Amino acid sequence: MSHFLVKNSFKFLIVAGLAAACITSTTAADKLTAPEIRKLLTGTYHVSVADSVSAIAVFTSGGGISVTTNKGEKDTGRWSFSGNKVCVQFKHLLDHKNNCSSLVNDGGAIRGNGFTARR
């Protein structure tokens, strides 16, 4: 897998995984808030992106994240908030830059820029 594909795929995968943790009782298309996200974040999530890459993302209550893709790539990092956006930063992926995104609850699926995540 090219560096470009890995870089962009993981950006969506991680933010999506964070989003998947946030399924709440809000209506479709409601942006999730940081407290909603934090309440439901810990756990394992299935994430898919538009370019056929999927992953299993595991989030810990202490702010840790690990991911394994269907292509066999693995990495770990940290998650945090910037306002109501979820941010992730990996040890190796995404050029070790902090990447943030707003998340939307869409009828049980969490959607963001090019990804879908579910428990």
pLDDT tens by residue, 82-93: 999 989 899 987
Residue 3 has pLDDT above 60, yes or no: no
Whole-model pTM above 0.75? no
CATH, range 3-118:
2.40.128.640
- HEC readout, 62-119: CCEEEEEECCCCEEEEEEEEECCEEEEEECCHHHHCCEEECCEEECCEEEECCEEEEC
Average pLDDT over residues 55-71: 93
Q: State how far the Cα of 96 lies from the Cα of 91, in Å rounded to an integer.
A: 6
Q: Which strands make up the sheet holding 109-112, listed edge to edge?
A: 30-31, 104-106, 109-112, 115-118, 43-49, 54-59, 64-69, 74-82, 85-90, 99-101
Residue 113 has pLDDT above 90, yes or no: no
DSSP 41: -
| In the chain, where the domains are located | 3-118
More confident residue, 37 or 16: 37
Residue 98 has pLDDT above 80, yes or no: yes
